Amino acid sequence: MRTQVGIVGAGPAGLFLSLLLQRAGIDCVVLESHRRDYIETRVRAGVLEQGTVDLMDDLGAGERLHREGMLDPRLDIRYKGGVIHIDLPALTPGKIVTIYGQQEVVKDLIAARLGRGGSILFEAEATHITGLDGSRPTIHFKHNGQNQTLECDIVAGCDGFHGICRGSIPEHLLTVYDRVYPFGWFGILAEAKPFPEMTYSSHERGFSLASRRSPTLSRLYVQCGAEDDPADWPDRRIWDELQARLYDATGAELHEGKILQRGVIPLRAFVAAPMRHGRMFLAGDAAHIVPPTGAKGLNLAAADIRVLSRALIEFFRTGAMDRLDRYSDTCLKRVWKVTRYSNYMTSLLHRFESSTPFDQSVQQAELDYVAGSLAGQTTIAENYVGLPFEED
Ligand code: FAS
Ligand code: PHB
């Protein structure tokens, strides 16, 4: 097989890219190792920045998002000093976020891609890539029990943190920045009336977060041990911890219900640079991971693709490689700002066993400062709704 752009991975990064290239008349093939139903039901992120919503609209894939997504104008932070109400439109004029599950985004993008005659090969696992130092790299993959190849002009490594593309870059050419946090999140999706506001909570028992997916579906998280197993968290423990960590949330706020999905999410901040090797360009989790405290992973993947698609369209239209040559530096500027914010929110809201009384006092003072400072609240608000895009 041959194409202009071989895209490894049908997560948000790969799907956004495939639709933008298809619209520009650039031939691309998407290889996805899992089945369609598996990736369409994988519960992950939930908060979309306006830039990501705009991208869905720009691609004509935003109709259900506007019908079923929930506009979220506020963010609450609970801590022992009280509740900090962060009013997004007041602090970042006119900006808000939309709550819409990542699996719904993936469903809409797959439907748009296939509906427009684009190809996605499901259960097609890329095993390795050859020819990256030349101008005709080849992606080797397994599909229908056959070893197959996809020759391309460009490889887009959109295969997530555990994919093979980043590993195709010779180690001595890659610089990796890594921080593994000493805890994880235990997340549940429950058939229960959600908490009234997006609520982060910093509590001596640990962090918790109350989010939602619909007026009848709650998405809830509690800080847990990095090595915890879901079996360590029976339903009663989950609800008791949520109730305690959300400062004795009342029955009018925290509704229990049937838990439909549960899982432990490790927390990590990871950046690989450069996000390019020869004719291969990394985007999304293949290049960087941010702790979900900032609600940024999916949005950062979309931001990478915004830059990469523009560079690829210029390349295929004019042969110019300037934008492609600037791709990694352009993306990494945003990646590091988003990593900074996600690390800040993680450090601000979680309990660290290694914390000294000094550390705990500084953390408390930071929350007290934000509670009393419009500047402090504006800093959180402008990062949460999404930083402006710098023209690349
Ligand atoms: P993805 O990982 O979404 O997609 C990569 C795709 O490549 C996958 O479909 C995978 O099957 C495929 N693939 C991998 N190797 C392949 C190969 N060799 N051949 C072919 N295909 C291959 N972010 C938030 O903002 N909030 C959250 O609450 C949140 N929760 C998360 C929970 C979990 C368990 C995980 C893993 C991530 C979570 N994230 C969250 C981050 C997440 O949303 C990512 O940022 C987002 O999925 C990034 O999108 P992609 O870069 O497209 O990578
Ligand atoms: C979610 O709704 O899944 C969510 C919300 C905010 C976060 C992380 C995840 O910071």
Read off the pLDDT of residues 324-340 as tens digits, 9 standing for 90 and up. 999 999 999 999 999 99
**Domain shared by 167 and 67, yes or no:** yes
In this structure, the residue with its CA closest to atom 7 of ligand 2 is: 295
* Ligand lying closest to the C-alpha of residue 300: 1
In terms of domains, do 210 and 299 share one? no
Q: Strands 146-157 and 2-8, how do they pair?
A: parallel
pLDDT in tens, 280-290: 999 999 999 99
Tell me the C-alpha to C-alpha distance, in Å, between residue 351 and each of 181, 224, 303, 369, 372.
11, 10, 31, 18, 22
Residue 176 has pLDDT above 70, yes or no: yes
Q: Please tell me whether residues 138 and 62 are part of one structural domain.
A: yes
Structural domain span for residue 222: 181-267+354-383
pLDDT at residue 134, as a whole number? 92
Give residue 261's pLDDT band: very low, low, confident or very high (50, 70, 90): very high
Is 38 contained in some domain? yes
Q: For residue 10, how far is its CA from the centre of ligand 1 (angstroms)?
A: 9
Q: Which residue out of 219, 343, 345, 350 has the highest number of ligand 2 atoms within 8 Å of its CB and is therefore the one to mutate? A: 219
189 Cα–ligand 1 center, Å: 18
Q: Which residues of 78-117 are buried (b: 16+ CB within 10 A; e: fewer)?
A: bbeeeebebebeebbeebbbbbbbbbbbbbbbbebbeeee
For residues 205-211, give the mean pLDDT. 98
The ligand 2 atom at the shortest distance from the C-alpha of residue 45 is: 3
Closest ligand to the CA of 194:
2
CATH number for the domain spanning 142: value is 3.50.50.60
With respect to residue 172, please indicate whether it lies within any of the assigned structural domains: yes
Q: Does pLDDT of 392 surpass 80?
A: no
- Residue 178: pLDDT over 70: yes
Output the ligand 2 site: residues, CB below 6 A: 45-47, 209, 211, 219, 292-293, 295
What CATH number should be reported for the domain holding residue 233?
A: 3.30.9.10
